[in-house]
Structure 1
Amino acid sequence: MDDNSANALRLTHHFAGPPALVWAIWTRPDLIRSWFGSSHGFRAHDIAVDLRPGGTWSLRNVNGDVTEHVSGTYHEVEAPNRLVYSYHFEGTDFFSIISADLVPEGDGTRLHFLQTGFPDAQARVEHARGWPHALRVMGDALLAMHGVGTLWPALPEKTHIDGVARDLEAARERLAREAAQ
């Protein structure tokens, strides 16, 4: 059976960092906060992650007076290469499944992303706008870690994730400024 292109969002993205680091950005609450909902001006709060098959995740996404509660269940957790989880906006009929496959590619990582189960075409359009922005925030932070950018130019060999949250925040702010111009 062919994919229903109106109900599936496929993206690929190259990150300048190893799969373990991209995995951390994708799964650690302190790092998720910077990129989740960033394209729409939201900020994630109260992030809970029980990273195991059958474990759940949840967060409260806030933009001014608007609050969304988003949650799901992890179906596959194969660190640092594959993550499959459900994605639900509470109080709505929005239930989707996301799979993220992280494949080593040279010195970096190739992400193969798939989200299915959109309740309508508009939901797919909004996520097709949002995910590339979030991936760009993540990628910008990883580039900064490798000395391309302004945050860590003197630390190209940095391999631990301390400070990644600062880089994600800086990437988010940079992209917000660009979007405002």
Structure 2
Amino acid sequence: MTIGENELMATREYDVPRELVFRAWTTPDLLAMWWGPQGFTNTFHECDMKPGGTWRYTMHGPDGADYPNHSVFVEIVPSERVVLDHLSGHEFRVTATFEDLGGRTKVTFRQLFKKKEEFEQAKPYCIEGNEQNLDRLGKVLSDIAN
């Protein structure tokens, strides 16, 4: 869903406590399992989970193409939110918030692009890709909750 200028937002509710959702976002081995659209896999080269920490990884597309990525974590508030700046290719900020719904969790995933032209270029595939990302998160949460 498009909201505001240069920003996309996706939300999802999961039937797990928010501490578990936060763990899936901040544990590199778990994050590598679900980050990215359907069919993609990840190789993490560096994932320093702290404000100012570097996250370098390669996304491997289903077509065999490799997509190097570089991000920096801006803010990590336990069980509440993760904010990162994606610096390679299209520049954007991801803000993920985790709302406690009495044992369930609502995740709000916001993606704010720095440049309008990059937003317009990426919007068609990011809308679907962000939904697939949240689908993949749900699968990992289901697996680790049981």
TM tier, smaller: 0.7 to 0.9
Question: What is the correspondence of 1:142-153 to structure 2 with a 5 Å cutoff?
Answer: 142-144=141-143, 152=146
Deviation at 1:73, TM superposition (A): 0.9
Structure 1: any 5+ residue segments left out of the alignment? 147-151, 153-181
- Tell which has more relative contact order, 1 or 2 (C-alpha 8 A, sep 6+): 2
Question: TM-score w.r.t. structure 1 length?
Answer: 0.70
Contact 1:8-1:115 within 8 A present in 2 as well: yes
* Whole-angstrom CA distance in 1 between matches of 2:132 and 2:70: 20
For the aligned residue pairs, the C-alpha RMSD in angstroms reads 1.9
* Whole-angstrom CA distance in 2 between matches of 1:143 and 1:59: 24
- Out of 57, 60, 64, the position equivalent to 1:59 is 57
User: Which one-letter code corresponds to 2:58 in the other structure?
Assistant: R
Contact 1:33-1:47 within 8 A present in 2 as well: no
Structure 2: any 5+ residue segments left out of the alignment? none
Question: TM-score w.r.t. structure 2 length?
Answer: 0.85
Contact 2:33-2:140 within 8 A present in 1 as well: no
| Corresponding residue for residue 31 of structure 1 | 30
Runs of 4+ in structure 1 off by over 6 angstroms are none
> Structure 1 or 2: larger strand share?
2
The percent identity for this pair of structures is: 25
Question: What is the correspondence of 1:91-106 to structure 2 with a 5 Å cutoff?
Answer: 92=89, 94-106=90-102
Question: What CA deviation, in whole Å up to 9, does each residue of 1:24-58 have, x standing for no partner?
Answer: 1112111122212232x221013422111111111
DSSP 3-state at the match of 1:38: coil
Question: What is the correspondence of 1:1-181 to structure 2 with a 5 Å cutoff?
Answer: 3-4=4-5, 7-39=6-38, 41-63=39-61, 64-89=63-88, 92=89, 94-117=90-113, 119-144=118-143, 152=146
Q: Whose Rg is larger?
A: 1
- From the superposition, tell whether residues 145 and 43 of structure 1 become closer, same or farther in structure 2 (CA, over 3 Å): closer
Single out whichever of 76-85 and 42-51 deviates more from structure 2.
Answer: 42-51
Q: Provide the aligned length of Structure 1 versus Structure 2.
A: 140
* Whole-angstrom CA distance in 2 between matches of 1:120 and 1:38: 17
Contact 1:27-1:49 within 8 A present in 2 as well: no
